[in-house]
């Protein structure tokens, strides 16, 4: 039986949930416990030693009464260290002064909201991108702190993103993705070559992504990533000759489309990470976004049984005339 998660004792702050720090038990391979050789006397002592760069800030939050225990009680400087218990608090929001994000709604019903995620916006809170994420923007825009993303799009990818309205409904929709019963179609802009034409080309390989490494890679071994790619049309501009490709991933590995397009000699226009990472790979360029759009998503609605397709309104910025 899955253990029920502890409900946060603090509310959302502008769509951002509180941080939880759990106190490990005796013998845990925790660096703080290993360095001390025993359990700390207080919860505050543990947190400040675990996060020394934030120790002064955290002590001020405790003094102000902003830190809570699992049961909602205020944590004080003398609150004892209890193995297995947690303390909860709100970290400073890095992009607190960022302009608010308004999501374009493509579809909405009792259970879900489908939005067009803009290029350059994270799907979920991540690092320095907290408020500037689709989930947090959705919680604020729709006044619903339970909103969550049912899948993810890379920050550099725009297009259809499904959000779930209620916590208790997530399982039914997650099951669609786990069972690969969701059909996704992307538009990609890349150069032209003789390896991909009007007839679909299937790319099959094994893609792995190691935590801490920028790029995913293709390794020998059993296939875990399959993508169908075909050329829809070609066009030219001042930068050269380009193709608009329809891409259908049949699996969902990290960076799968970018890796497979690159393997065909067709890295995406505006991609700063493939084939070779640029120095400014983590800086989004609104005037030249990566040309990859989650164009449509087809699935059977688990609550209604209706077969439905949701289409993005985004178009490749370098070839907007193909819209529709």
Other Cβ atoms less than 10 A from the Cβ of 239: the count is 10
Q: Is 127 exposed, middle or buried (0-12, 13-18, 19+ CB in 10 A)?
A: exposed
Distance CA 301, CA 169 (A): 12
Query: Could you tell me which residues are beta bridge partners of residue 234?
Result: 243
Which residue among the candidates 13, 97, 116, 154 is catalytic per the annotation? 154
Q: Which residues contact 56 (CB under 8 A, 6 or more apart)?
A: none
Per the annotation, the verdict on 154 as an active-site residue is: yes
Side-chain half-sphere exposure of 133, counting CA atoms within 13 A: 27
Distance CA 28, CA 42 (A): 17
Long-range contacts from 151-155, C-beta under 8 angstroms, 24+ separation: 151/123, 151/177, 151/182, 151/252, 152/123, 152/124, 153/117, 153/123, 153/294, 154/255, 154/258, 154/292, 155/120, 155/121, 155/122, 155/123, 155/126, 155/129, 155/284
Token representation of residue 291: 């040309």
Q: Give me the active site residues, please.
A: 154
């Amino acid at each position: 039986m899955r253990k029920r998660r502890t409900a946060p004792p603090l509310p959302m702050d502008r769509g951002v949930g509180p941080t939880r720090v759990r106190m490990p038990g005796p013998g845990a391979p925790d660096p703080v416990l290993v360095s001390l050789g025993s359990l700390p006397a207080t919860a505050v002592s543990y947190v400040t030693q675990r996060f020394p760069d934030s120790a002064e800030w955290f002590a001020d939050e405790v003094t102000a009464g902003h830190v809570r225990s699992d049961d909602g009680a205020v944590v004080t400087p003398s609150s004892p260290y209890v193995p297995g218990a947690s303390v909860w608090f709100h970290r400073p929001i890095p992009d607190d002064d960022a302009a608010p994000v308004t999501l374009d709604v493509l579809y909405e019903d009792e259970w879900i909201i489908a939005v067009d995620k803009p290029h350059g916006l994270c799907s979920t809170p991540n690092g320095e991108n907290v408020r500037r994420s689709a989930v947090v923007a959705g919680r604020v825009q729709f006044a619903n702190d339970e909103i969550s993303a049912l899948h993810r799009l890379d920050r550099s990818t725009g297009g259809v993103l499904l959000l779930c309205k209620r916590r208790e409904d997530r399982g039914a929709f997650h099951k669609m993705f786990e069972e690969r019963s969701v059909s996704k179609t992307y538009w990609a802009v890349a150069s032209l070559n003789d390896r991909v034409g009007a007839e679909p080309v299937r790319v099959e390989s094994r893609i792995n992504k190691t935590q801490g490494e920028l790029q995913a890679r293709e390794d020998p071994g059993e296939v875990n990533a399959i993508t169908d790619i075909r050329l829809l049309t070609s066009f030219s501009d001042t930068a050269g000759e380009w193709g608009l490709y329809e891409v259908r991933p049949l699996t969902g590995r990290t960076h799968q489309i970018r890796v497979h397009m690159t393997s065909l000699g067709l890295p995406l226009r505006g991609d700063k990470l493939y084939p070779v990472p640029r120095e400014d790979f983590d800086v989004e360029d609104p005037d030249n976004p990566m040309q990859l759009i989650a164009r449509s998503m087809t699935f059977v609605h688990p609550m209604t049984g209706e077969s439905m397709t949701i289409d993005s309104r985004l178009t490749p910025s370098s070839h907007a005339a193909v819209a529709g």
